[in-house]
Amino acid sequence: MGIAANFTIVTLGVADLARSAAFYRALGWQQRGNISAGITWFRTSGTWLGLFGFDDLAADVGVASTPPALFRGITLALNFNNMASVDMALADAVEAGARLVKPAERAEWGGYSGYFADPDGHLWEAAFAPGFPVSDEGTIEIED
């Protein structure tokens, strides 16, 4: 017995839905859904990214809406096939309105990565991991 690993959506609570949707559109991501419904979606390589009002998401979950910490114990990752693509992604994110949190640098695990924060502080890693080549569909495979 178990639960199928059908991980399909990451939903981010955001302070200003229109601002956040504009940010992800500026990254060039494909938006779906009518923002007037209070939630919107962006296609990624293997899942969907949902944007939902922060207080509304807390209410949906049934928890108190408290201001988020700067570090929330989670990062989201975008993987690329080379270091130049990492640098370009970080520059494009900043141009779209992100805050550069950590410039890209070589990592002790053999790769190259940096971090940016979206307008609500959600942390995204842009990484080149030589052991995780990115397929033409934008997915990676992690071997044992």
The pLDDT value recorded for residue 97 is 97
The pLDDT value recorded for residue 8 is 93
Q: Which of 84, 80, 82 is nearest to 125 (CA)?
A: 80
The pLDDT value recorded for residue 143 is 80
The pLDDT value recorded for residue 126 is 98
| Dmax (CA) of the chain | 47
78-111 tens-digit pLDDT: 999 999 999 999 999 999 999 999 999 999 999 9
Which domains does the chain possess? 1-67 (3.10.180.10), 69-135 (3.10.180.10)
